[in-house]
Structure 1
């Protein structure tokens, strides 16, 4: 553990920052990367005022090996879909270096046709994640506890998907 623990009456904690939309109250934000079916691969919790574009490469690098077909497990996706919050030329170059096709809308242009239907999968995964009331509003001051609950929720989401899968 690094740093000191927050005092019980102290507000906030690690991973919180002023919210740009809620009168500067402190809060946190989840950044998520998932597959085309909505199975979460990696979630990062940051302060509410952190831009999405800064977490793109951290999410891509955090994808664990995914077993599927016989052979070596996959570690990278074929393409990365994102909304205008992830638009950045340096990130596009870095993704292409890693042989990942960036499908990201550019700021100031109309949305890519059909991207909303594909982004729905991510929004649905966020809805599944925030069904766990403890994650919808962050009550834990310690980031380690919150991240542990997020990991547990992701495990439950994956378990439900496996249980409901038709053979």
Structure 2
């Protein structure tokens, strides 16, 4: 599935270049510190850039998910959560003069690069959906101060697993497990309309508000405490992803490159 070289000189061996990219992900070192055995650093960086632009990394991840799903390995009880990653000062500077910004209270987000600038410094938030085994199905980036709940539908909308044979792609999970940050009536209604079972505990303010209304407050939403115990797989997936030091701290200026690095790490987890 890897692209072949076009016109001009023959490309450097794919294995050497991918090993260079994986070394960068594992160590978090600057590109210029790439060991000589991996070849010129500019070659590896350019290959990362090209395959990010043409969608090669995402196609690879989609393919490994399809292969596992075709033999029934994918567990369609999804868990969602988010994690804030501190952005290094080297991640700043991609914004050009006059680029639009969005203000969130005391924080300012640079649109398009998923960077939030607040009193705590630069940060990016990773929104993650994993299957029942804790393997990444979908990753979404936002500025660090963005809320969790507004991203859940966008996260689920990005999941589409093709069939090996005839048939439509699968887009609907059997259930979605999420913590209290995602517990909102609009989210419950949207997933009910999609015929997806949503397992999330109510927030305390929601419980108190419902009780204050008396009979008009309605019944509490169903909550399967036993199924909710499986939600920890998404936390474990974050731990595995952050074993790659280049992901535990964001150094990439462009959000597209940082997301590509997350996708490459996800491919590694699936292939293991």
TM-score, normalisation: structure 2: 0.50
Specify the alignment match of 2:148 in structure 1.
Answer: 52
1:28: how far off? Answer: 0.6
Which of 169, 172, 186 is residue 76 of structure 1 equivalent to? Answer: 172
* TM-superposed deviation, 1:72: 4.3
Structure with more of its chain in helix, by fraction = 2
Q: Distance in 2 between matches of 1:116 and 1:25?
A: 34
List aligned pairs for 1:18-167, cutoff 5 A. Answer: 18=117, 23-65=119-161, 67=163, 72-108=168-204, 113-114=225-226, 117-160=229-272
- Give me the whole-angstrom Cα distance separating, in 1, the residues matched to 2:245 and 2:181: 26
- The CA deviation string for residues 25-71 of structure 1, in whole angstroms up to 9 with x for no partner, is 11011110111111111011111100100110011101121548985
Q: Say which SS state the counterpart of residue 229 (structure 2) adopts.
A: helix
Cα pair 1:32 1:43 within 8 Å, conserved: yes
Contact 1:41 1:64 in 2 (8 A): no
The two structures, once aligned, show a CA RMSD in angstroms of 2.6
Give, in angstroms, the shift of residue 75 of structure 1: 1.4
**Runs of 5+ consecutive residues of structure 2 not aligned to the other structure:** 1-52, 54-92, 97-108, 208-222
- Measure, in 1, the Cα distance between the counterparts of 2:241 and 2:186: 30
Give the SS at the match of 1:85: helix
Report how many aligned residue pairs link the two structures.
150
How much has 1:6 moved relative to structure 2?
3.6
Name the structure, 1 or 2, with higher relative contact order (CA <8 Å, separation 6+).
2
Flag the structure with larger Rg.
Answer: 2
Distance 1:106 1:68, change over 3 A: farther
TM-score, normalisation: structure 1: 0.79
| Structure 1 residues 148 and 56, CA gap change in structure 2 (3 angstroms) | same
